[in-house]
Amino acid sequence: MKQEEIKAEDNVSTVTQFVLLGFSDLPNIQSFLSGMFSVIYMIILVGNFLIIIITKMDPILHKPMYFFLANFSFLEICYVTVTVPRILFSIWTQDRNISTLFCATQLCFFLVFGTTECLLLAVMSYDRYVAICNPLHYALIMNPTKCTWLAVGSWFGGIPVQIGQTCQIFSLHFCNSNQIDHFFCDIPPILKLACGDTSVHEMSVYVVVMMVAAVPFILVLTSYSRIIVTILRLPTAKGRTKAFSTCSSHLLVVVLFYGSATVTYLRPKSTHSPGTDKLLSLFYTILTPLFNPMIYSLRNKEVIGALRKLILLK
């Protein structure tokens, strides 16, 4: 289908749809990209659904740690579903047009699920902090009611803020072009299309990032700094190894997610380039959800044992 581009000469154009350029600059490998993204999407779905199933079926995994892990796995399924099906649709049909409403909806869900991931990672680090630093009171502190409320807060805590931010972004006038040089509707490439000075909107993005990402990240760092101090005080090397193994997987996921997302959203608009933005976005939108099931299963003996039981039952 023909891509429609809008350019302003004298007056501000009213944009009713955008064009997601995606990977259109790589015409010779469209089939490869289609196959790669299809396989990755299926691996993410199967891997995360398996984690959800085994945490529900195996009584050994009926613990707060695995309750949050099941929530995290479901979140990763939702998170990647916001972007990958749209990428595949564009490749398969060569129709890269996306309505303003659908673009705003995609951005809103992406931001909400991203906020949920930040909050849930902080909650999971708090769970590991209580388990390692205060093990005698772990069952009392991390009781089912508290775990449920922490999960609910993580899922719904960012919704009002991100709906507001999405409305603010799409209240802008777009006059330079309607072509988004990205594979999904994200804030940095959309702001590039806006008319005039967007410094106020950039500042609001930074403020929101500090609220929903930086603050949870600080809580993660605080939890792990105390965890590391506690681990180093353990009398035996075996005890230190066991304690560290229970939180190393989570720490690796934190580094992968926050590292790429922070660079993307906290850089000034003038330093953004389409190629770099796409590469960084691939890390926190697709590669991190792909690695998560492997990271949590391969480094966790209880998860591996539960998987074996599930396979033997079949």
E strands present in the chain: 17-20, 97-99, 179-180
Specify the higher pLDDT residue, 241 or 270: 241
Across 37-51, 73-87, 112-126, 204-218, least confident range? 204-218
- Please give the average per-residue pLDDT across 139-154, as a whole number: 95
Using alpha carbons only, give the angle 142, 143, 148 rounded to the nearest 5 degrees: 90
- Please give the average per-residue pLDDT across 118-135, as a whole number: 90
First to last CA, the chain: 46
- Please give the average per-residue pLDDT across 93-97, as a whole number: 89
Specify the higher pLDDT residue, 11 or 86: 86
- Please give the average per-residue pLDDT across 64-73, as a whole number: 92
Contact 108, 163 (CB under 8 A): yes
Sorted by where each begins, the domain ranges of the chain are 17-313
What is the per-residue pLDDT for 243? Answer: 64
How is residue 12 written in tokens? 């501000």
What is the per-residue pLDDT for 14? Answer: 62
Specify the higher pLDDT residue, 82 or 271: 82
95 CB-near residues (< 8 Å, 6+ apart): 1, 89
- Which CATH number is associated with domain 17-313? 1.20.1070.10
What is the per-residue pLDDT for 153? Answer: 95
pLDDT at residue 152 greater than cutoff 90: yes
195 CB-near residues (< 8 Å, 6+ apart): 8, 12, 172, 173, 174, 175, 176
What is the per-residue pLDDT for 232? Answer: 81
What is the per-residue pLDDT for 227? Answer: 86
What is the per-residue pLDDT for 266? Answer: 63
Taking the model in full, what pTM does it have?
A: 0.86
- Please give the average per-residue pLDDT across 9-34, as a whole number: 76
Secondary structure (3-state) at 18: strand
- Residue-wise pLDDT for 191-231, tens only, equals 888 887 778 888 888 888 888 888 888 898 898 888 888 88
What is the per-residue pLDDT for 295? Answer: 76
**What percentage of the chain has pLDDT greater than the value 70?**
85
pLDDT at residue 70 greater than cutoff 70: yes
